[in-house]
Chains A and B, each alone.
Chain A
Amino acid sequence: MKAPAPRYAANDGVIDAAKAALGDLLVEAKDAVGEVSLTVVREKLCDAMLALRDTPGLEYQQLSEIAGVDYPERAERFDVVYQLLSFTRNHRIRVRVTTDEEKPVPSVTGIWPVAGWLERETYDMYGVLFEGNDDLRRILTDYGFQGHPLRKDFPMTGYVEVRYSEEAKRVVYEPVSLAQDFRSFDFMSPWEGAKYVLPGDEKAPAAPVPTPPVKDAKTSENTAQTGAGQPHPGNQPGEKPKDADVPAPKGEGQK
């Protein structure tokens, strides 16, 4: 790796050790960009986490982070991604489960109490449910907020805005009204896989029409047609006038 990113212990053998420890709890294991990610069966997440924490040779003692990721086009649209850290082996690993809006993910608060708020945040931002988290309240958004703002189908501008109302003498909630439309520019190069029709392209016919063959192509069959062999082909060097403003007399060949 050329990049100066944090360098921890090598990934060699981690996937094999995880396969041995997790058995059929493991769905997929891969080593990409220098990091190991495991996908495990959602229902058995707690067993997998306990195995990762307690198996000698894995020893991931700390849960650093839980992140949600939304892929709306998938059947189980959410990834819930856990980052684990081993102090003793100086290694990081990523554990992932997939879920959707309804299927709950088992809570790992029993293993790591730090998961409490992290799961609350994932619930708040994505609406992922965690089974066994007894305090699954919203955490970052406003009291009484509706929706899950980090979902890809949640508009960036949101639905409501607040302002202080001089009449009501309190902060009021109103539907969002923008003085200028939200603009999201697409700077992707249109030559590299643009998924839309470029402006002006809609005028062009769908398939390019092939050029029809020319029926009477102009050909020269003898020298008389080209003007070659004429006694005065014109534009001879000697004929150039002294005065540059006077055009040269045109010979026969240039008629």
Chain B
Amino acid sequence: MTDTAVKIPEREIDPATGDTSIANYTINFGPQHPAAHGVLRLVTELDGEIIERIDPHVGLLHRGTEKLIEYKTYTQALPYFDRFDYCSPLAMEHSYVLAVEKLLDLEVPLRGQYLRVLFAELTRICNHMLNLGSHVMDVGAMTPNLWMFEIREDCLNFFERASGARMHSNYYRVGGVRQDVPVKLLNDIAEWLDTRLPQLFGDAISLVAENRIFKQRNVDIATVSREDAIKWGFSGPMIRAAGIPWDIRRAQPYDVYDRVDFEIPVGTRGDCYDRFMVRVEEVYQSARIIKQCIQDMPEGPVLTLDRKVGAPKRGEMKQSMEALIHHFKLFTEGYHVPAGEVYVATESPKGEFGVYLVSDGTNKPYRCKVRPTAFSHLQAMDFMSKGHMLADITAILGAMDIVFGECDR
């Protein structure tokens, strides 16, 4: 910004400058900003209020998890996955256990697979509640966020009843899940899906979905074409909002996703509003999947009975020397995974969450590369927000659904 009164003679000298000389200026958005959804620093170049260029600086939450995992056995590495995307911890674990199972070529009991799908979908609801709620709050509404946090709280309580922890559940295991759930929990989830979830969620969404202010803030903001979505490596709700019906759960089914029935919502315009509404519909579809899981789940073991991988129960250890030895070996040395490499990607609530695992045949991963969903989405921030207003940054970020535990690792 220049003081025009002083600059008048200079302007007359320089014919290249127009009537007023306004320089672009650069502001820092974040790293500590409530709408940055974590520690994100956006170096934003503005022309007045119009965004010219955005350079996201990430890595402020880098904890070197991939390095840490190389020093841990396969079992010890699992809890780190809860800490990647701490809003949907079980979806992160899902990719990892599937990757190790693929290397081991390990069969998983059907009930274990159903439980994993059930809790992955409950995680999706939990994650979308946080994202949708914070998105509407970023663009100015308060109430839906509070109502959706009620649902999120219910989900966390369900996780606690299954695993003992509200957020960092550490519930999935290579070969199934840690322990079976009580029948009462399944009943309560089913009842919750029929009563509380549709009521609270429906109310919350009815406040914003057709709301004029909400639409003005989101419709036609940051439209992404199909070609751009593919080129920039989009996945999950981001690519579906761009109109590509791509869902790994459907295209490359893992666990029992090929046994459940669900639909894939897609957007038509590829803007922030579409991304929002795709997530809204995904919540209902997740609820559908959970209901089917509860209905179809067979009785039986939840963890593989291969004692070289799955830990024995404590009661069994009191009776059997063999079980005691297996327990000791599993929790000191762990199990050895055959040498090889796999890339396993699952449909996490935010998109394609992949684990590239290289094993050298020992009890520790040689390399464990995590493919975060946020990396490709945040990278596209620059071209998506070009030409939009400064205030649209929050809407664009909110519709991207970024969590820095996963982005920075």
Contacts and interface: CB of A to CB of B under 8 A. Distances in A.
A141 B62 contact: yes
B102 A33 contact: yes
A5 B255 CA distance: 7
Interface in A97-148: 112-114, 116-118, 121, 125, 138-142
Nearest to B409: A140
Given A65-B371, A83-B371, A94-B343, A4 B108 contact: yes
B322 interface: no
A70 B108 CA distance: 32
A16 B24 CA distance: 54
A145 to B, nearest CB: 9
A6 B71 contact: no
B58 A5 contact: no
Given A65-B371, A83-B343, A188-B363, A5 B99 contact: yes
B352 A8 contact: no
Interface stretch (B150-158, B180-188, B333-341, B386-394): B333-341
Interface string A186-200: 011100000000000
B290 to A, nearest CB: 18
B367 A69 contact: yes
B80 interface: no
Contact of A5 (B342, B369, B409): B342
B225 interface: no
Given A67-B367, A83-B356, A141-B62, A187 B230 contact: no
A117 B340 contact: no
A4 B376 contact: no
Contact of B98 (A4, A32, A34, A37): A4
Interface string A143-175: 000000110001010100000000000000000
Interface residues of A, number: 50
A246 interface: no
A62 interface: yes
Contact of A156 (B67, B252, B379): B67
Q: By CB atoms of chain A within 10 A, which of B64, B343, B408 has the most?
A: B343
Contact of B244 (A8, A87, A138): A87
A65 B333 contact: no
Contacts of A62: 230, 233
Nearest to B99: A5
B47 interface: no
B345 A67 contact: no
B408 to A, nearest CB: 6
Given A3-B101, A5-B101, A5-B254, A150 B343 contact: no
A63 interface: yes
A114 B254 contact: no
Given A65-B356, A112-B231, A140-B62, A184 B251 contact: no
Nearest to A94: B343
Contact of B105 (A3, A63, A141, A150): A3
Contact of A64 (B67, B352, B380): B352
A184 B58 CA distance: 30
Interface string A1-35: 11111111000000000000000000000001111
A154 B66 CA distance: 13
Contacts of A33: 102-103, 105, 340-342
Interface in B355-374: 356, 358, 362-363, 366-367, 369, 371
Residue of B71, B113, B340, B341 with highest tally of chain A CB at under 10 A: B341
Nearest to B174: A3
B126 to A, nearest CB: 22
Interface of B: 58-59, 62, 64, 66-68, 71, 73, 98-99, 101-108, 113, 230-233, 235, 244, 246, 248, 251-256, 258, 332-334, 340-346, 352, 354, 356, 358, 362-363, 366-367, 369, 371, 375-376, 378-380, 408-409
Top 4 closest pairs, chain A to chain B, by CB: A114-B233, A67-B369, A6-B252, A140-B59
19 contacts: A3-B105, A4-B98, A4-B101, A6-B254, A33-B102, A37-B341, A61-B230, A65-B369, A94-B341, A94-B343, A112-B233, A114-B232, A114-B380, A140-B409, A141-B62, A150-B66, A156-B71, A184-B71, A187-B73
Interface of A: 1-8, 32-35, 37, 61-65, 67-70, 81, 83, 87, 90, 92, 94, 112-114, 116-118, 121, 125, 138-142, 149-150, 154, 156, 158, 184, 187-189
